[in-house]
Every structure is written in C-alpha cells, then in structure tokens.
Amino acid sequence: MIQVHEALEIILSRIAFKGVEKIPISQALGRVLAEDVVARRPNPPLDNSAMDGYALVAQDVRSASPESPVRLEVVEDVPAGYAARKTLRSGQAIRIMTGAPIPPGADAVVMQEDTERDGDYVRVKDKAEIGENIRLAGEDVKQGETAVLKGTVLKPSHIGMLAAVGRSNIFVSQRPQVAILSTGDEIVDLDEIPSGPCIYNSNGYMLSAQVLSAGGVPNYLGIARDKEEDLLEKFQWALKADILVSSGGVSVGDYDLVKASLKKMGQEMLFWKVAMKPGKPLAFGKIDEKPIFGLPGNPVSSFVSFEQFVRPAIRKTLGCKDLAHTTVQAKLTKTVRKKPGRLHFLSSTVVRENGEYQATPAEEQGSGILKSAMNANGLLIFPLEASEIAEGETVTVQLLE
Ligand code: AMP
Ligand code: MG
C-alpha cells in the first residue's frame, strides 16, 4: 500500500501535456491559455477623459470655487472616438466626453457637474489638479506587456482583456478526452427500471461532471457487467480516449474483475492500493501510454479519489499551473478520531469568520454517504499517522469550490 503523495507522484510522472489548438475567444471561457498573450498596443491607446466635462489648463482654474467660478471659452467639442483638432490655450476649454482623447495643451478635466455652461463659455466652479480625470495611455496594459499569462484558466474578465488587446483567436490547451466506465451487475442506467438490488449509475454521471469541471471532455461509456468479456469490450472502446476512468470492481471481491481484465489487455500496473479513506482500492496503470484509473465503486470513494488523482492528471494534460486544489489552514470545530495508518479525507464545511477559516466535518463520513460530500465545500486532511485532532486545533483543508 502506498501513500497518497507517492501515488500522486507516480501518476503525474506518467502524464504529459496533450497539445494546443487555436480557438476564437468567444469559445474560450474555462479553457487554459497555452501562450503568453502580449499586448500589441497599449490599453487605453491614448490619454483620455475619465469624465464627461471640460478639458482645460489646470493653472487657469486654480482659484475656481462655486462662489467665484472661472469663465473659459469653449472652443471645440470632442466626443469619444474623435480627436480634437485644436490645441488648447490658456483661457480656453474643450467640451469632452468620457473616453475621448485629451486635446493637446490640456492637462486636466473638470467634470460637468462642477461647471455651468453659458453659450460659448463655461463657468468652472472647482479647481483641478494636473492630470485630474485623465486616464493615461497604457494604464491598464502597456504595449509589450504580457496581458494574460500562459496557463491561466480563462474567466470572463480574461476574455475581456484578450479582446482589449485585440486578440480574436488564441492558443489554448487541447482538452483531454476522458472515458468514464462504470462496472457492476447491480448498476442500471437512468433510462432503465430499477428492481430489487439494482442501483442507479450515480458514479457515471458524477465522474463525467467531475471531468468537465476539471477541464476535460467526458466520454460516457455506460456500464460494463462484472464479466471479463464485457469489461474487455468496453475497455477497448475506452482506449480511444486519452485517459480511462472506471469505477467499481477493483477491490478484492469475487467479481472484482477490472484489474484482471486490464492485465489481459496488457496494462502495466503501477500501483493498486493507497493508504487513504475513503478509497483504498485504486488501480493505476497504463496501456499503450494511456493512463488508466480504476477507481473504487463506493460513490464517496470514487468522488474523493477522482479529486485527488484524476483531476490533477487532467490539469497536467492541460498545462495548468496549479494541479491540486487550494488548501487552507482552518480551526477544527469538533474533535475527530480515527485509527492510524491511512490518511482520511473528511467531507467538511469550511467558513471564514473574522479572517480565520473554521472547518466542521460532516456527521456521517461513510463511503456511501454522498449527501455529506454533496453538502461539503472542503475535504479535511486527517494525516496518516494521526489518531485524534482536538477541537480548536489547526487542520489543513482542501477547498473544493
Ligand atoms: P465495488 O467496488 O464494485 O465492489 O462497489 C462498491 C460499492 O459501490 C457497491 O455497493 C456498489 O454498488 C457501489 N457502486 C459501484 N459502482 C457504482 C456506480 N456506478 N454508481 C453507484 N454506486 C456504485
Ligand atoms: Mg462491483
């Protein structure tokens, strides 16, 4: 039996970056950027007005106040998208709209609310500092600056930035195809009518969703019966994908035939059991360079094993910077106990109060209690050799959201 960190090292050492593809930014949400995007032009391109108002010379209005406004001649009107033709001189103002370039000669903008228009003149009722209400060229991004870094998982604001620097198409990482195969004579799909001891294929759908959320493309392959022929046939299909993930049938039961079937297919088995709970039986190996994960069947074991091992693998194929979930230090709100020898992941609720995280493990931690995992936003890491952590102590928690 190997430890969690050793298992992860073995897995990651066998996973390679998949490749890049070019896509329009309209389709790039959630994708991983595969290039440093450098601004070819500054944003904003020119010094421009942050307000609707009047561009002027700050020195002209140094004594302006509501009681003694300064009267300036309005010599031009500049809407956004146009440049002033005139050079501003002392004693003059130019009507300017938000986003319009600052006219030559002007060094400040007074907002409209601090002025009063009077025909061809304007009365300015407030003084202005040099540079007031002026947004400088390149204040968002300078020319030549890296606007969005390679490896970034693109959020809406990144898409905005890519557009701001004029990129319509970008290189992103190719998403790995991840085959999801459930196993078990007792498992039925959702369009079947369950009877007696049958249970729905919850793992198949949950794991598919986990693949999506990790950035991969799930290939849902349904259910293989606990028969070698069926497993072999379905695994053959699965080999079309980049990564294979099965659930169930990897334990020591009489009908746990996943390992035997994979062996027949020429799988190089790299490890089988991991010192963790939930999810001790976990088979990892390769067939023709394709990584194969045989996850345990119990839903919470499947869920947790995926988050610990398959998600980092998917993210490595994508070239992500951070492979694992973020961890935080949190104060434990109730004492927990276990037998030493396995690292436990406890479904927990993490809240932040007065700048401090607090973690509360769910009452029920069974590997079949999906409800606890569903209501949790974190996995508390209860170290391998520990047997008790007392209320008030600091624990490490992986944040799942
Ligand atoms: P196994 O590892 O095949 O012995 O399965 C362990 C437990 O997980 C059994 O109670 C199975 O019924 C359950 N299980 C296995 N596969 C699935 C699945 N696809 N969806 C829901 N539960 C499953
Ligand atoms: Mg089974």
Cβ neighbours around 227 below 10 Å, total: 14
Interval 330-381: pLDDT, tens: 999 999 999 999 999 999 999 999 999 999 999 999 999 999 999 999 999 9
**Residue nearest (by alpha carbon) to ligand 1 atom 23:** 297
| Tens-digit pLDDT profile for residues 276-306 | 999 999 999 999 899 999 999 999 999 999 9
Q: How far is the CA of 225 from the centre of ligand 1 (A)?
A: 12
Q: Which ligand 1 atom sits nearest the alpha carbon of residue 301?
A: 8
- Which ligand is located closest to the Cα atom of residue 225? 2
Give the residue among 303, 327, 324, 321 at the shortest CA–CA distance from 312: 324
- In this predicted structure, the answer to whether residue 85 has a pLDDT above a threshold of 90 is yes
Query: pLDDT tens-digit profile of 86-96?
Result: 999 999 999 99
How far is the centre of ligand 1, averaged over its atoms, from the C-alpha of 315 (Å)? 26
C-alpha 232 – ligand 1 centre gap (Å): 19
Under 8 Å CB-to-CB from 353, ≥6 apart: which residues? none
Ligand closest to CA 184: 2
Mutate to test the pocket of ligand 1, among 183, 187, 245 (most ligand atoms within 8 A of CB): 187
Query: Which domains does the chain carry?
Result: 4-16+175-317 (3.40.980.10), 21-38+148-173 (3.90.105.10), 48-135 (2.170.190.11), 327-399 (2.40.340.10)
Phi, psi of 113 (to 5 degrees): -60, -20
Mutate to test the pocket of ligand 1, among 182, 185, 199 (most ligand atoms within 8 A of CB): 199
Please report which ligand is nearest the Cα atom of 303. 1
Our mutation pick for probing the ligand 1 site, out of 205, 258, 298, counting the most ligand atoms within 8 A of Cβ, is 298
pLDDT in the model for residue 321: 85
Give yes or no for residue 194 having a pLDDT over 90.
no
Q: Which atom of ligand 1 is nearest to the CA of 182?
A: 19
Q: Summarize the confidence of residues 163-183 as an average pLDDT.
A: 97
Q: Whose Cα sits closest to atom 10 in ligand 1?
A: 298
Residues 267-284, mean pLDDT to the nearest whole number = 96
**Cα-to-centroid distance, 207 and ligand 2 (Å):** 16
Neighbours of ion ligand 2 (CB under 5 A): 184, 248-249, 297
Confidence of residue 12 (pLDDT cuts 50, 70, 90): very high
Query: What is the mean predicted confidence (pLDDT) over 303-315?
Result: 98
The chain-wide mean pLDDT, for the chain, equals 97
CA distances from 371 to 190, 363, 365, 375, 377 (A): 19, 11, 9, 6, 12
- Place 255 in a pLDDT band, splitting at 50, 70 and 90: confident
Q: Residues lining ligand 1, judged by CB closer than 6 Å?
A: 182, 184, 186-187, 199, 201-204, 247-249, 251, 253, 296-299
pLDDT band at 66 (very low <50, low <70, confident <90, very high): very high
pTM of the model: 0.90
Angle made by CA atoms 249, 254, 257, in degrees to the nearest 5 = 40
> 247 CA to middle of ligand 1, Å?
7
